[in-house]
């Protein structure tokens, strides 16, 4: 990923993350964007040059169709963590996400990792299906209900 691609990604990433956290009921709408921005700043203090973070532009026929952010896990140094995999709407449901996950596995192996992990929001059933189809297994489940 180039710096320009990273800048494009970052321009919408915090808003998207904030929206997902609100949808999941984790954050309230008033503070969501601020919290998301703080999270990105904490995780990427040096932007695209932050050590142990790897950014990829996903292309199909020379057209940008998505992005992948892979990083060394904070919890397990032998594991890569997929912080973000996003396929643009016009290119979803075409197998691109599944192929990107296969390539992420290959890249993580080449970087020396022995495992790969990610987080998925509970309301994102389509992504959960793709991840499980790609060999990911559920390791933790948080449950919540309104009172």
Can you give the CATH number for the domain in which 75 is found? Answer: 3.40.630.30
Decide if 143 is inside a domain: no
- 13 is in which domain, residue-wise? 3-133
Decide if 140 is inside a domain: no
80-116 pLDDT tens trace = 999 999 999 999 999 999 999 999 999 999 999 999 9
26-61 pLDDT tens trace = 999 999 999 999 999 999 999 999 999 999 999 999
Global pTM reads: 0.91
φ, ψ dihedrals at 137, nearest 5°:
-115, 145
Decide if 144 is inside a domain: no
Decide if 127 is inside a domain: yes
C-alpha torsion angle, residues 12, 132, 56, 74 (rounded to 10): 80
Decide if 142 is inside a domain: no
Considering its fold, how many domains does the chain have in total? 1
């Amino acid at each position: 990923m180039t710096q320009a691609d990273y800048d494009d990604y970052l321009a919408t990433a915090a808003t998207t993350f904030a929206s997902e956290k609100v949808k999941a009921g984790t954050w309230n709408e008033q503070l969501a964007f601020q919290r998301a921005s703080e999270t990105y700043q904490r995780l990427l203090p040096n932007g695209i040059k932050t050590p142990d973070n790897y950014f990829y532009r996903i292309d199909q026929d020379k057209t940008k169709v998505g992005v992948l952010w892979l990083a060394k896990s904070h919890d397990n140094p032998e594991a890569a963590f997929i912080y973000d995999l996003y396929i643009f709407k016009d290119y979803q449901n075409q197998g691109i996400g599944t192929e990107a996950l296969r390539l992420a596995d290959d890249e993580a192996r080449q970087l020396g990792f022995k495992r790969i992990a990610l987080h998925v929001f509970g309301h994102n059933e389509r992504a959960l299906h793709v991840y499980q189809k790609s060999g990911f297994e559920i390791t933790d489940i948080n449950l919540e209900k309104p009172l």
